[in-house]
Amino acid sequence: MTIQNQLDNIQKNITQEIEKDIISIAEKVSEEQMIMLENRTLSGIDLYGNVFKPYSESYIPQKMAITSWRPGDPVDLWLYGDMLPDITSKTRKTSNGVISDIFFGSSIENDKAVWNEYLGRLFWGISEETQGDNTEGIEENSEAKSLFEITKMYLKQLNYSVK
């Protein structure tokens, strides 16, 4: 084996290790986003940091019969407890780089989300306004306050230089 072949093999192995690290970081950041999304939604705050629109008068009795929710509590989009836990993610390598998708695992829960969005309760997504608001439970003892800082934290854990 020539020196050039050995160098090519080393570069290939390093590239594969870096790709694994990037996929791992993307998976962890996706998990953090899902936690932020659920925490923010359960606190009654929408994508832009506003309080959710109230439940309709016709819906309130159903909500009260099934949950411990009472008028005056935050609108939390929680009824049977199936929608938010159904949020999942998939990370994959593509020709454009590593991509993570966050989505609902079932069409039923997706339809509930679409209905809430239609009603003006914009909860799906992470905005600059709310990305650091609900970092409880994220990487215990973390100082991270934004997805960018969370990503930097994971890069540092893998010994990458981060500025």
Give 84's DSSP letter.
G
Mean pLDDT value of segment 127-140? 52
Query: Residues 25-54: pLDDT tens digits?
Result: 889 888 888 988 899 899 999 888 899 999
Find the Cα–Cα–Cα–Cα dihedral 132, 138, 144, 149, rounded to 10°.
Answer: -90
For 50-79, write each residue's pLDDT tens digit: 999 999 999 999 999 999 999 999 999 999
Q: Check pLDDT > 60 for residue 121.
A: yes
State pTM to two decimals.
Answer: 0.70
Which residue would you say has higher pLDDT here, 91 or 139? Answer: 91
Would you call 51 helix, strand, or coil by DSSP? strand
Mean pLDDT of 103-113: 93
The helix or strand, by DSSP H or E, that contains position 99, with its residue range, turns out to be strand 97-104
Tokens 């970092």 locate to 135
d(CA 133, CA 105): 25
What are the distances in angstroms from CA 132 to CA 49, 83, 149, 155? 11, 22, 10, 18
Residues above pLDDT 90, as percent of the chain: 37
With pLDDT > 70 as the criterion, what percentage of the chain qualifies?
73
State the pLDDT at residue 18. 77
Average pLDDT, the chain: 81
Per DSSP bridges, beta strands 97-104 and 87-94 are: antiparallel
Q: Which residues are 104's β-sheet partners?
A: 87
What ranges do the domains of the chain cover?
Answer: 17-157
